[in-house]
Amino acid sequence: MAQDKCFIRVKNLLDKSSISSTKADEILTEIKKAQGELKISSLDSVNADSIAKTILEKKKVDKQIKKRNALENEIKIRNYVDYVLREFPENPEEGLIAILVGSNDQKIGARESVALKQFSTYRQLLAGFDQKLKDANLDSFFANTTEAIDRKIARAMEQISKGEPVTETIPEIKKIAEIMENYSEMIRKQMNNRGANIPKLFGWIVRQTHDAYKVRDAARVLGKTVDTTGKDKNFDVNREAWKEYILRDGVLDERTFADVEDRDEFLNFVYASIIRNDYGSADGVAGAYGSRDITKARNAKRVLHFVNSDAWFEYNQKFGTGNLKETFFGGINIAGRTLGILDTLGTKPSENFSRIQSIVQNRLAKMGKSTESISGNKFEKYLMVVDGRIYGVENFTVAKWSAITRSIAAMSKLGFAAISAMSDVGLYASEVKYQGRSFFGGIFEAFGSLGKIKTSGKKQEIARQLGFIADNLIYDLSARYSIGDNLNKRFTKIQRTFFKYNLLNWWTNSLKEGSMLGLSNYIAKNRNVSFTNLNERLRMLMQQFNVDENLWNILRKMDVEKADDGTEFFSVRNIEKLSDKEIISTMDLKNPTKRQIQIARENLKTSISGIFLDRSLYSVIEADARTQASLTQGTLAGTPIGEAIRFFAQFKAFPIAIVQKALGREISFFKSKNAARGAFGIGSIVATSILLGYVSMTAKDLLKGKTPRDPTKLKTFFAAALQGGGLGIYGDFLFTETKGAMDFIGRLAGPVPGTAAEVIQAIQWGIQGKKDAALKQSYKTVTGNIPFLNLFYLKSAFDYIIGYQMMESLSPGVLRRIERKMRKEQGQEFLFTNPSSMFKGF
C-alpha cells in the first residue's frame, strides 16, 4: 500500500527532530494504526503534530502500565516465595507444585492453585453469561439459533460496539447481541485491569477462535483440489489457499497490517500459530489476544481485523470452531484461563515462576539446605498444562489421526462406563467424610442425587452460580478416562452423543451437581459457628483454600439462598453485594485503588467458587491438571513420544486420578501425623470400592444375560476389587480372555495397542493353520471396535440377534466352550437358555 505524502513528511520531520530513532519508529507505527482505526486514507487533513503528541501520551500510559505490571509481578513473586518456605519447608518441591496444580497436603492454601483459579474463573464467566441469558428469558432461544440468526446477532454486535444504531428489528436477536457484546467488553476490561492493555475490538471474545483442523485443511474447505502425494506440498497448498481467502477484497481490514513490513511472512506466522493450536494458550500479557504491548513479539496472538461482521462471520463459518454459541464459549474458556493465570502468576507467568523457583533455591542454599529437589526444569510439565502449551500440536497429521483413533477406541470400549462408575458412590462418600460430614450420609446423598430425574429450578440456579455447568455443554466426557485430545468438530459431536447415550453424561452431572449443593448446604448450616468452633475437618478444608477467621466471618454473614423446599445454601454471587470496606479487610493493601478493590472482589468470588469446583472433582473423580501433567510429561501431541504416551494413558487417567486424589487425600493424614484417620479413610475407600465393584460387576453380568458370580470365591473378590478400585472399564478390557504374553502386554499398553496385538494374534493363528482360533479372534476384534455397538443396552441384543450365530458359524462349538469356561472359572451360567442350544450357525 503506497504511503501518502503527508506520512512521508511526518517521517522526515521525525528524522530531523530530537526524538530518538526508536521512539520515532513507534510513533510512525502508531500513526499507521490510527489511520486504519479512523479510516483515514490521507494525513493531509490531519494535524500531524497533534497525532504525534497523542501517541507520545499513549506511550507514556503504556510505560506506566508496564511499570505497574512489574511492581505487581514482584509482589506476587515474593508472596509465593514466602508461602513455599513457610508452608512447605520440609518439601519445597511439593510447595512449588502446589502453586501450579495444587497439593493434597494439609497446608494453608495447598488447594488454591493456578489451575484451579483458571478453572473457577472460566466457570464463573460462563455461569455469569448463562445467568444473563436466563434473566432475559433468552437461554432457549440462544441454544437453538440458526446460521441466519447467528449472522444477524453478529451484525448487531458490531453496530453496538461501534455505537451505531442497531438495525435489527427482532427484539430477541437485538438483546442477545447486546448481552454478548457487553459481556465481551466486560471481560476485555478485566484483562486490562490485570495489565493486558487491549484496545476496544468488536466481538473481542468470539474473534479469537480458530479451528486448527479446518485451517489445516483449508484447500478442501474452500473446495479446491489437493494433491496429497507429499506432506510438505499438501501443507503449502492449504496455507496458500487460506492466505488467498483472507487476502481477498472485503475480508481483512488494513488495521491488520498496521505494523507489518512483510505481509506474506506475517500471514505465514499466523497460519503456523493456528495449526499448532497456539491460540489456545494462556501465557499472560505476552499472549493476550489483541494486547498492544507485544505487537512485535514472535509469540503474539496476532489480531486479524475483519472489514465487518459479515466478513468475520463468513470466515468463522469456514474456519471457526462452530456456531456462534460454541465460538463464544470457546473464547470465554481462553479468557478465563488467561485471567486465572494473570491473577496468580502475573503478566509474565513463565518468567515469574522461574524467578520464584530461583529465589526459593537461593533462600534454601543460604540456610544450608539441599536444593536438588527443586533444581532443573522438573516443573515445566505442570507449567505447560496451566499455560496451555500442552494443547499445542507438533505434527498435525499424526496428532489428528491419533486422536481420531483413540476416540473410536473410547466409543468402542466405554459402553458400560456408567455401570462401571458405581464405585463413584464410595469415593463420593469418602470426600463427604473428608469435609467433616458423615460417610454413610455421603452415600445417601450420592444416591439421592442419582435418584432425582431433575433438580428443582431454584437448586439448578444455585448450582450454576457456584460454578456447575453440565459437562456435555462444554467438553467431552472422555476426560474421565483419558488425558484429552484435540478432536475435530465432527468427532467431538459424535463423542458427546456417545457419552449421552451410555448415560455417563447423566451420571457425572448428577453427582457433581449433588456434591456442590451438598457442600453449599453444609456451609450454610455452619454460618452461625465461629471459625475456631468449626468442625476440625471443615476448618482445615477452608484453610486449604486460604479461608481464615477474618474471611470466614465475612462469608458467614452473607445472605443464604433458599430452594423451593426451604433448604438453605451458601451463595457465591452474594459476594458481589459485599461493601468495599469488607473487601478491603481481606486485602494486604492499606489504601487500595478502585481497580484493586474490584480485582479483589472478582478474585474472592472465583476463589470461593473454586472450593466447590475442586471438591466436586474429588466427589466424582476426574483427571485434573496434576494428573494430566503426570501422564503427558510435557510432551506435545503429534510427537512420537507424545503420541506413545497418549495411547498408553488412554483409560488410565481415571485410576491414576483415584490414586493421586482420593488416596492422596487420605495419605495426607499420615503426613500430618494423624495415622488413625488416614487408615480409616483408606480402609473405607477399599471396603466400599470392593462392595460396589461387586455390585457393578453383577449389574454388567445381568445385562449380559449371565448369573451373578459366586461372592465366596477368591477370584470374584479380586475381580470386584479391580472393578471398584479404579480400573473399571479398563479392568474389563485388560483382564478378559488372553491367549499369551503378547496379547496381555498389548492390552496393558492401552486399548489401541491391545487391538493391534489382537490383530497380530489372529494373523499368527491363521499362519499356523489354526483357522477356528483365527476366525474367532478376528470376529471379537472387529465387533469389539465398532463404536456404539457396546452400549450396555445394545450389546446383549446384538449378541442374541446376530452375534452368537456369527460366532458359531466362524468357530463351531465356541459357544459350548464359552459356557464351560464360565462355569469353571466364574461359577456362572446364562440366565436364560444357553446360547449353544439356540444357535448352530448360519
Per residue in 199-238, pLDDT (tens digit) is 887 777 776 678 888 888 899 899 887 665 555 567 888 9
Alpha carbon 622 to its chain's center: 11
Going by C-alpha positions, the residue among 284, 289, 274, 293 that lies closest to residue 184 is 289
The pLDDT value given to residue 477: 44
- Asked if 121 and 142 sit in the same domain, the reply is yes
- Closest to 301 in 3D by CA, of 204, 182, 382: 204
In a domain, 666, yes or no: no
Is the pLDDT score of 728 beyond 80? no
Residue 480 pLDDT level (bands cut at 50, 70, 90) = very low
Q: Are residues 407 and 486 in the same domain?
A: yes
pLDDT of residue 260: 79
pLDDT band at 689 (very low <50, low <70, confident <90, very high): confident
Cell (9 digits) for 59? 506511550
Range of the structural domain that residue 196 is part of: 75-105+108-390
Residue type, 111: R
Looking at the fold, whether 375 and 438 belong to one and the same domain comes out as no
373 and 463, same domain (yes or no): no
Distance CA 815, CA 794 (A): 20
Q: Are residues 589 and 516 located together in one domain of the fold?
A: yes
Position 722 scores a pLDDT of 78
Specify which of 269-278, 469-478, 611-620, 709-718 reaches the highest per-range mean pLDDT.
611-620
DSSP assignment of 644-673, as one string?
Answer: HHHHHHTTTHHHHHIIIIIIHHHHHHHHTT
| Residue 204 contacts residue 290 (beta carbons within 8 Å) | yes
Reported as a single tens digit per residue, the pLDDT across 265-323 is: 889 988 988 888 777 677 666 556 656 554 344 444 567 888 899 999 999 889 887 78
Q: Give the residues across from 561 on adjacent strands.
A: 569
Residues 363 and 399 occupy one common structural domain: no
Q: Which pLDDT belongs to residue 753?
A: 86
DSSP per-residue string spanning 235-270: HHHHHHHHHHHHTSTTTB-GGGGTT-S-HHHHHHHH
Query: Do 325 and 232 lie in a common domain?
Result: yes
Say what the pTM is: 0.87
660 belongs to a structural domain: no
Between these two residues, 269 and 170, which has the higher pLDDT value?
Answer: 170
Q: Distance between CA atoms of 537 and 435, rounded to whole angstroms?
A: 6
Give the position of cell 460462563: 126
- Asked whether residue 168 is domain-assigned, the answer is yes
CA 505 from centroid of its chain's CA atoms: 16
Helix (H) or strand (E) holding 328: helix 324-345
Residue 695 belongs to a domain: no
Confidence at residue 259, expressed as pLDDT on a 0 to 100 scale: 72
Q: Is 607 a member of any domain?
A: yes
Quick check: is 58 in a domain?
A: no
Per the prediction, the chain carries an average pLDDT of: 84
pLDDT digits (tens, 9 = 90+) for 743-753: 555 556 778 88
How much of the chain exceeds pLDDT 70, in percent?
Answer: 85
Residue whose C-alpha cell reads 490414586 in the numeric block: 659
Q: Is 297 left (phi over 0), alpha (psi -120 to 50) or beta?
A: beta
333 and 470: one domain? no
Q: Which domain-ending residue is among 639, 664, 684?
A: 639
- What would the pLDDT profile of 507-544 be if each residue is shown by its tens digit? 999 999 999 999 999 999 999 999 999 999 999 999 99
Q: Is residue 43 pLDDT above 60, yes or no?
A: no
Q: Report how far residue 306's alpha carbon sits from residue 315's, in angstroms, rounded to the nearest whole number.
A: 9
pLDDT digits (tens, 9 = 90+) for 585-639: 999 888 899 999 999 999 999 999 999 999 999 999 988 999 999 999 999 988 9
Asked, for residue 456, whether it belongs to a domain, the answer is: yes
Cβ contact 499:787 at 8 Å: no
Closest CA to 833 of 701, 703, 706, 698: 706
Q: What is the pLDDT of residue 725?
A: 63
Residue 734 is predicted with a pLDDT of: 46
Look at 261 and 348; give whichever has higher pLDDT: 348
The pLDDT assigned to 16 comes to 53
Q: Once rounded to an integer, what is the mean pLDDT over residues 457-478? A: 74
Which of these three, 639, 661, 683, is where a domain ends?
Answer: 639
Same domain, 383 and 492: no
Query: Distance between CA 447 and CA 444 in Å, rounded?
Result: 5
pLDDT of residue 227: 63
Residue 560 has pLDDT above 80, yes or no: yes
Same domain membership, residue 385 and residue 407: no
Q: Which band of pLDDT confidence, cut at 50, 70 and 90, is reported for residue 716? A: confident
User: What is the residue-wise DSSP string for 451-508?
Assistant: H-SS--HHHHHHHHHHT---GGGTS-GGGGTSS-----HHHHHHHHHHHHHTSHHHHH
Instruction: Tell me: do 398 and 253 sit in the same domain.
Output: no
**Residues 332 and 348 grouped into a single domain:** yes
Domain boundary among 604, 623, 639: 639
DSSP 306: B
Residue 47: pLDDT over 60: no
Residue 50 lies in a domain: no
Whether the per-residue pLDDT at 738 is higher than 50: the answer is no
Helix (H, G, I), strand (E, B) or coil at 416: coil
Query: In total, how many domains does the chain have?
Result: 2
